[in-house]
Amino acid sequence: MNQLNQFMKRYPKIALYSMITIAAAVVIIVIAAHSSVAVNASPDHENQKYFTTVQVNSGDTLWDLSQEYITSEYASVDDYIKEVEKINHISKDEITAGCYLVVPYYAEKPVSE
């Protein structure tokens, strides 16, 4: 403790700046820790994948249907269309008016406690 007092008397500006730097670092660490807790907290809702059946109308394309049902969980429209094709065992040119397709979509589902 004696050495600290001597240092503070000999270099008061350095001691002051050091204390301010330490205090600022502590504040930043506390804020970062609080923010990471908020980010890692579980949400009240989570997205759940659902499926529905839609009837194809005259002139509909898989692109048209994707625009209605796609959500942000899909990287692209092409990824969504590929999943619809896989679920229904079809290729893009196989849909006709009157047929039914199973399409996926995501919606919020309350998280059970």
- The whole-number average pLDDT for the span 100-111 is 86
Least confident of 36-40, 65-69, 77-81: 36-40
What pLDDT is recorded for position 34? 58
Q: Is the pLDDT of residue 37 over 80?
A: no
Burial 7-43 (b: 16+ CB within 10 A, else e): eeeeeeeeeeeeeeeeeeeeeeeeeeeeeeeeeeeee
Q: What is the average pLDDT value for the chain, to the nearest integer?
A: 80
Looking up tokens 């700046």 gives 17
Q: Is the pLDDT of residue 35 over 60?
A: no
Query: Given pLDDT bands bounded at 50, 70 and 90, which one contains residue 45?
Result: low
